[in-house]
Amino acid sequence: MEKRVLVVDDDQVVGQSFERVLNAKGYKVDTALSGREAFEKNAGADFDMVFMDLKMPGPDGLEVAKRIKEMNPWLPIVVVTGYGSQEQEEKAKAIGVAEFLHKPLTPSAIEEVAARVTERTAAAATAAHAEPAPAKRESVARNVGLFFAAPFIGLAYIVAFPFIAAWMIARYGVRAITGKQ
């Protein structure tokens, strides 16, 4: 099945470069020249991955990435920039960006990142759809035991709390009166 990629960069040549490289590897590439255009295209299509420039007119790449992640949390976004800083990279990771790359990129680097992100996404989807392991007998017995013990444990706390509180108040009161630490 053909993977769909959205490349968001205000430089048309960059979008064409990604398109040329990724089309040859079986990806269908769509480009957007601004964050606003990226929102429009993302709303009307089902992409498998987004390559995003940081510096663009209108909302910057981090703002666009954040809004796209809010709409599609599962969608991997790769930030590509020639002006990246450690602070921007940390913000990108906090948003949930899959990778942060620095320009200039070679065709092989673009291919490798696309393959890596696709593989990671496929592995995550497989893990999410995997059947859960059967529960161990001992964990079931432990959980049943804790279920029945919980009210008694709570009762013990309720009974012990006033005594512990009175002891602490008396202890700190004596220390305050005597001036000892």
User: Residue ranges of the domains in the chain?
Assistant: 3-129, 133-181
d(CA 83, CA 55): 8
pTM of the model: 0.65
Which of 85-94, 120-129, 150-159, 164-173 has the highest mean predicted lDDT (pLDDT)? 85-94
pLDDT digits (tens, 9 = 90+) for 72-113: 888 999 999 887 788 888 888 898 899 888 888 899 999 999
- The amino acid that residue 151 corresponds to is P
pLDDT digits (tens, 9 = 90+) for 54-68: 888 888 888 999 998
For residue 26, is it left (φ>0), alpha (ψ between -120 and 50) or beta?
left
CATH number of the structural domain 3-129: 3.40.50.2300
Q: Which of 34, 39, 37, 28 is nearest to 70 (CA)?
A: 39
Tell me the CB-side half-sphere exposure of residue 99, using CA atoms within 13 A: 19
